[in-house]
Structure 1
Amino acid sequence: MRVGRRTILAAGVGAIAGMAISESAAASPADGFALDFAPHQGSFASRGTVLEQIAYAAEQGFRAWEDNEAARRSVAEQEAMARALSQHGMTMGVFVASMPRWKEFQPVLGGDDDSARDAFLTDIRAAVDVAKRLNARWTTVVPGFLDPRLPVDIQQARIIDVLRRAADIMAPHGIVMVMEPLNTRTNHPRVFLQTIAQGYALAVAVNDPSVKILADLYHEQIQSGNLIPTLDQCWDEIAYLQFGDNPGRKEPGTGEINYAIICKWLKEKGFAGVIGMEHGNSAGGRAGEDRLIAAYRAINPI
């Protein structure tokens, strides 16, 4: 049965004025963060295994973790991650439920081939078990690529239909698929879903609490900009955020996005969800990891 549209997460995060980032700030004892910023494997690569990186992130005050590749890990690895996160009182963020084949421009979920949609739904069914093992509430979906031969309206209708079918799989388990709009100007040409506003249209049409938007602000800045007004207008359908500065897709403070102001706005909205640190480090080794921590302390709302 289709359920009425509702907001999965409350909104909000806060920010700080200024982005003065020093390695010494990262080295000081962690007082924690007001927002649930989520590092990922590689954020603290010098600290060792993924479990050791989780432990180090917790020591620094991070309260969440995300892992795009979690579905590809062994069951034993997934269960070990879940235990580590529970031990440290951390929330599991997103993992990818269905990954496009980037070089092949596949799948085309709005195309004429039903097999692409069937394969997508197979991925969604498998993601349920992964989410349960990880105690994850959110999983990322990318609605494939455009078919330049077909009207966009036909493709959109087909994607809405397959997302509704996917929601019927996820909803009984309380799992939310977050659709990620991706930029076509720098990273992902020909993707179907390109903006948060377009994701809003899809989420409203699907009309199910298991289908929401992942607002990756790196992608949105490249594709559309106007970040805070866009977030505000689409807020009811946004369940998850990701940060990354532009250009370069590194930590806040390395590019043009004023994440301090965005975090301040998010805090005022009352956002209680996870913000994925979906970017690399601007410097290597432990010095780069210190800069990463300092960058997030600089935008952490007080």
Structure 2
Amino acid sequence: MTYRLAACAEMLFLEWPIEERVRRIHERGLLVEIWDWSAKDLAALAATGAEFSSMTGYLRGDLTTAEGRAALLATARESLRAAEIIDVPRLNLHGTGLGEGGLPVVPRAQISGEDWVHAADTLRRIADLGAEAGRTFVLENLNTAVDHPGTPFAKAADTLALVRGIDHPNLRLNLDLYHAQIGEGNLVELVREALPWVGEIQVADVPGRCEPGTGEIRYEAVAAALRQLGYGGVIGMEAWASGDPDAALDAFTAAFSA
């Protein structure tokens, strides 16, 4: 393997406090993903000795409205300061803030040309913040059919167009293959096209958003393509466990270690 594996502590070992979830993932030799850092004891997470792959890189805001852009930039700065405590290299972004149940705070059924211009300008400024701090922001694609209806710039084609157009080393893609399968499919070709701009890849199976092997995606083929392409980044399981969390992690590591 040329890549490294990670798992999301927000979705596994849910009967335990977050520090114990992080510790259990770390003990398996995996990197750890978290989401909202603001309600967590970051010093306690650092004390676990875990190596973190990514966390949410903002608290509120969006890419296009004047108020939302200001909030996104301000809370991205806060997130960069938080990232120093647990040394997170990648900070995750979406087209707009996500509220309860993953629903967009500022839903947009239609995206105008002006929205694209504003989004690109906001992301350039975010990338510059990342460069100053020595960290990378990653823009995640989502799906609007199941989990995040109304989210702007949700498709992998949209996030790729933005990141490729800006072409800044501190702004990359968080290519989520679960969301892409629901929204677009053709995952191996998507990976081939997007790989030069990928900062991290996330996986879960479809339907259900559980570990590889529980749905329709043949992740062994995706893993083979990534090895052939020489991908050396992180692959993170952002998935629920269909049963025992350790068994879910076994299935994940097996799919990407063959």
TM-score normalised by the chain length of structure 2: 0.88
Q: How far apart in 2 are the matches of 1:42 and 1:213?
A: 21
Kindly report which structure 2 residues correspond to 1:119-158, keeping only aligned pairs within 5 A, or say none. 119-144=71-96, 145=106, 147-148=108-109, 152-158=112-118
- The aligned counterpart of 1:31 is none
**Superposition deviation, residue 171 in structure 1:** 0.9
Q: How far apart in 1 are the matches of 2:199 and 2:24?
A: 27
- The aligned counterpart of 1:59 is 27
Aligned pairs, number: 249
Secondary structure at the counterpart of residue 178 of structure 1: strand
- The aligned counterpart of 1:79 is 43
- The aligned counterpart of 2:100 is none
RMSD: 2.2
| Equivalent residue letter for 2:170 | S
Percent sequence identity over aligned pairs: 27
**Superposition deviation, residue 42 in structure 1:** 4.5
Q: Which has the higher contact order (CA 8 A, sep 6+)?
A: 1
Task: Answer yes or no: is the 8 Å Cα contact 2:63–2:123 preserved in 1.
Answer: no
Task: Answer yes or no: is the 8 Å Cα contact 2:33–2:54 preserved in 1.
Answer: yes
Kindly report which structure 2 residues correspond to 1:147-226, keeping only aligned pairs within 5 A, or say none. 147-148=108-109, 152-226=112-186
Task: Answer yes or no: is the 8 Å Cα contact 2:43–2:86 preserved in 1.
Answer: yes
Q: How far apart in 2 are the matches of 1:125 and 1:255?
A: 38
Q: How far apart in 2 are the matches of 1:169 and 1:300?
A: 33
Secondary structure at the counterpart of residue 91 of structure 2: strand
Kindly report which structure 2 residues correspond to 1:5-84, keeping only aligned pairs within 5 A, or say none. 13=3, 35-46=4-15, 48-60=16-28, 62-73=29-40, 77-84=41-48
Task: Answer yes or no: is the 8 Å Cα contact 1:40–1:277 preserved in 2.
Answer: no
Secondary structure at the counterpart of residue 239 of structure 2: coil
**Superposition deviation, residue 269 in structure 1:** 2.5
- The aligned counterpart of 2:63 is 109
Q: How far apart in 2 are the matches of 1:222 and 1:177?
A: 24
TM-score normalised by the chain length of structure 1: 0.76
Residues 213, 297 of structure 1: CA spacing in aligned structure 2 closer, same or farther, 3 A cutoff? closer
Structure 1 portions without partners, runs of 5+: 1-10, 14-34, 101-106
**Superposition deviation, residue 148 in structure 1:** 4.8
Secondary structure at the counterpart of residue 262 of structure 1: helix
**Superposition deviation, residue 68 in structure 1:** 0.7
Q: How far apart in 2 are the matches of 1:42 and 1:221?
A: 20
Aligned counterpart for 2:55 among listed residues 95, 105, 108: 95
Secondary structure at the counterpart of residue 38 of structure 2: helix
Residues 297, 202 of structure 1: CA spacing in aligned structure 2 closer, same or farther, 3 A cutoff? closer
Q: How far apart in 2 are the matches of 1:129 and 1:120?
A: 14
Q: How far apart in 1 are the matches of 2:53 and 2:225?
A: 21
Secondary structure at the counterpart of residue 94 of structure 1: strand
Q: How far apart in 2 are the matches of 1:52 and 1:191?
A: 32
Q: How far apart in 1 are the matches of 2:117 and 2:2?
A: 31
Q: How far apart in 2 are the matches of 1:72 and 1:55?
A: 18
**Superposition deviation, residue 264 in structure 1:** 1.9
| Equivalent residue letter for 2:95 | P
Secondary structure at the counterpart of residue 92 of structure 2: strand
Task: Answer yes or no: is the 8 Å Cα contact 2:62–2:71 preserved in 1.
Answer: no
Residues 188, 56 of structure 1: CA spacing in aligned structure 2 closer, same or farther, 3 A cutoff? closer
| Equivalent residue letter for 1:84 | T
Secondary structure at the counterpart of residue 172 of structure 2: strand
